[in-house]
Chains A and B, each alone.
Chain A
Amino acid sequence: MNLLLILPILLPLTTLMLCLLARRRLAWVTLISLVGSTLLLITGLWLVWFAAQGNVLSGQMGSWQAPYGISLVIDRLSAAMVAISGVIGLGTLVYMHRQPMASEFLRDAHLFVHGLLTGICGAFITADIFNLYVWFEVLLMGSFALISLGGGQRRLAGAMTYLVLNLLATLLFLLAAGLVYGASGTLNMGELALIFRSGEATTSATLGVTLMLLAFSIKGALFPVFGWLPASYHVAWVPVSALFAGLLTKVGVYALIRLVTLLWPTPGLAHDILLWVACATMLVGVLGAAAQTEIRRILSFHIVSQVGYMVLGLALATPLALAGAVFYLIHHIIVKANLFFIGGLASRLTGSERLAGMGGLYAARPLLAVLFAIPALSLAGIPPLSGFWAKLILIRASLEAGFGWAAFIALLTGAITVLSMSKIWNEAFLKPHPNGDQAVQADNGPRSAWLVAAVLALMTVLLGFGAGPAMEYAWQASLQLTEASAYLQLPAKEGAP
């Protein structure tokens, strides 16, 4: 049993428990929590380094053999996802550090973020369908607590919407897991992949998997089941909504990518449907954003639109397109979380979240304008930032695969994204503040929040200039996804430790 394999789950869980023990002193909780998430980030980077050399970690929990025991597998994609979860987790915790909140509020936030990270990391490394369900529930529990943190009419109403629709998705997933088990006799993803790849899957097993894909689509906020996301993300506390925007829907997207590449390595009916869904998601998301007038609601709709790009890569199913999807996933998590952080800073300074009530930031805080411009341009796909490369790869992959119209929709979505970002730019930064420019607060607030925004912006720039090595990693990850040898070997491992 390799310790490195379970560290991504063990670290946030241990941190959570230690924080719970130290709950009476906020300083202790903060210290433990920051150390714990730094360790998670280091583990993630270590895993990436390990995976980049072509190693795949896999093991059985409690030494129960597959397909009976629970298998964990960390390949390139999983390692990258764990590392990026570490980045966003640490970023969120640093951002919320010293925010002017009651100490109980901050303590609870620290606890629940680690609960959420446990679930997220677990979902990224498990190779067992039922175990994936359990991790979904763990992260759901953490996210419920986080989204309703602080209370208040608006927030609880958003939490209610979030809760009902996500519970429904999770229950559908559970039902699908039960049906797939009944029809195929296994919960192990590797054995399931063997059954599907050899063409022995029964109709009921395929139906079960379809239901599972629906559940993941709700989680990942795909068209037409994305409604819960723009109805809830904008009411949460700023660091919380940034964490959600960065990581939560991407767990659904990750599960989609994992399952579809495992079960159907070559394009088929599922890919055709996903292609339509992806294009509709891109367009509806970006058009929805155009109709919004509050900064976080605009950004929430853009999450939906961006998820469409990743699913486009998945639907095309060529190695280049899958690599594009992986690259997009990483780029998007950094950029989107950063935009929410910066949106929080901007609305704090101007005293409003409505674009109409904001303004004067370019004159008052040029640094914030630069910080906003980097992820915003990256989101829209302006070279040489990371979003440009991500979109370029996907558009090229769709042209190569003969789907010119999908490439056109991707381009169109990018253009409308520019429009929407320039709307925020004009209203919040260029326009004078409606109450005069002196209405912009003189107090910058905690420095750590600015630090997080700056570091994430720097990462976007670095990912843009260092797109070569990152793309190489994504390319290898995409080959590994369809080949999936580590998964396929799971059931065959007789007497593995």
Chain B
Amino acid sequence: MEWVAAVTAGSMAGLGIWMMLDQHLIRVVLGITVFSNAVNLGVLAAGRHVGEAPAFIAPGVDAAALVNPLPQALVLTAIVIGFALFVFALSILKRTYELHGKNDTDQVTAVVEQPAPDGQENGVEQGGTLDVDERDPSAGERE
């Protein structure tokens, strides 16, 4: 079974990296997710899960037949964190799309490389204070 997992993880990682090299930001972000799942699978497959039975230790159970629970715990943690980061990446992506009108990595690079606009107060755009419209509309609803 391990080699199936290894091959799957490997091809998913390849796919993820290929997507990250794409010109469209949406594919880059989705590529990260694919890659992150490949990594999760890889950690699970590499993590010495010797046995077949789930790791519920009851009296009289042969411990050698149990699967190693530690990689499962690691991957569970990684999935939760990965999900949070993916959601954040999506929100940045959405906002970038709204501001730029297109999702293009070249566009992102071009904008970052532009000379800094003058008259910024502390590097904030739209003048001195934060424009209310510029804020995330859901910011007020969080409370």
Contacts and interface: CB of A to CB of B under 8 A. Distances in A.
Do A and B come together as binding partners?
Answer: yes
Interface of A: 23-24, 99-102, 104-105, 130, 133-134, 137, 140-141, 144-145, 148, 150-161, 163-164, 167-168, 171-172, 174-175, 177-179, 181-183, 185, 231-232, 234-239, 241, 293-294, 296, 344, 347-348, 351-354, 357
A161 B112 contact: yes
A151 B130 CA distance: 9
Contacts of B100: 153, 157
A352 B115 CA distance: 10
Size band of the interface chain B makes with A: 35 or more
Contacts of A181: 43, 46-48, 70-71, 74
Interface in B3-28: 20, 25, 28
Given A148-B92, A185-B48, A175 B143 contact: no
Given A164-B32, A174-B39, A156 B88 contact: no
A97 B78 CA distance: 35
A172 to B, nearest CB: 8
Contact of B115 (A236, A351, A354): A354
B39 A164 contact: no
Q: Is the interface of B mostly helix, strand, loop or mixed?
A: helix
A101 B129 contact: yes
A449 B107 CA distance: 34
Contacts of A102: 129-130, 132, 135
Contacts of A172: 39
Contact of B125 (A100, A141, A154, A353): A154
B116 A354 contact: yes
Contacts of A152: 99, 124-126, 134
A152 B133 CA distance: 11
Contact of B92 (A140, A156, A294): A156
Identify which of B20, B28, B95 gathers the most chain A CB atoms within 10 Å of its CB: B95
A175 B116 contact: no
Contacts of B46: 178-179, 181-183
Contacts of B118: 351-354, 357
Given A154-B111, A161-B112, A168 B32 contact: yes
Contacts of B92: 144, 148, 156, 159-160, 163
A157 B112 contact: yes
A104 B134 CA distance: 12
Contacts of B51: none
A64 B100 CA distance: 51
A228 to B, nearest CB: 11
